[in-house]
Structure 1
Amino acid sequence: MYTVFVRLQIALEKRDEFVAGIRANARASLADEPGCLRFDVHQDATDPTTFYFYEIYVDEAAFETAHRAAPHYARWREVVAACVVPGTQQNTYALPLFPGDIPENPTS
């Protein structure tokens, strides 16, 4: 398994566009990519311009190759260019220590 943590900030006036874009990307990743096991999106509790993503893939290739080659990812990159404050996106890559403890992917 391969985990991706993302933290980024958006322009507040672009919030609706951003939320629609990340919702479409997360849902398509889960529905169309067999290698995407989880894609959670969170908004900071005190800062409405800061968002966090928690993504789990079956392996690094499922993220680096399949996810980034998906048609919905190209649309997502357009949303990033329009909404994300340049220089604020931070990606952290990790390996689950206890992969057997990760719950099944929710359908919602």
Structure 2
Amino acid sequence: MYGGLARFVVKPGKLDEFLEVVRWSSRIARDEEPGTLRLDVWQVDGEPDIVYGYECYTDRDAFEAHIKNAAVRRFGEVMDDLVEGWTMVIPFTNSTASNADLQ
């Protein structure tokens, strides 16, 4: 498994538009990327305009395929309009353990 966790600071008034783009990109990944296992987004009470995004792939090759798709390119194009900044909470890396590995 290969994945990472990012924290996005969304510009005031842009949260709905940001989430719309994320949901659209997630649907494309679900429908067209068999190696993309998860694209999850969380919001935490008390952290307005903060969005956490978790991505998980079968391996690094699946991640590389994901970042080349049109949806990710589109996401990159709108980031400056929607996001004040972002950081990697957990940099992309191979997992040490996962319940998905216990099959």
Question: TM-score interval w.r.t. the shorter chain?
Answer: 0.7 to 0.9
Instruction: Give the 5 Å matches for 1:16-35.
Output: 16-35=16-35
Q: Which residue does 1:2 correspond to in 2?
A: 2
Identify which range, 24-33 or 49-58, moves more after superposition.
Answer: 24-33
Q: Which residue among 79, 86, 90 is the counterpart of 2:87? A: 90
Counterpart contact for 2:59–2:94, Cα < 8 Å: no
Q: Which residue does 2:100 correspond to in 1?
A: 102
Q: Which residue does 2:13 correspond to in 1?
A: 13
Q: Which residue does 1:37 correspond to in 2?
A: 37
- Count of aligned residue pairs for this structure pair: 99
One-letter code aligned to 2:34: P
TM-score normalized by the length of structure 2: 0.85
One-letter code aligned to 2:50: T
Instruction: Give the 5 Å matches for 1:72-91.
Output: 72-85=71-84, 88-91=85-88
Counterpart contact for 1:3–1:96, Cα < 8 Å: yes
> CA separation in 2, counterparts of 1:66 and 1:9?
26
Gaps of 5+ in 2: none
Deviation at 1:70, TM superposition (A): 0.5
TM-score normalized by the length of structure 1: 0.82
Deviation at 1:42, TM superposition (A): 0.5
Deviation at 1:44, TM superposition (A): 2.2
Deviation at 1:17, TM superposition (A): 1.0
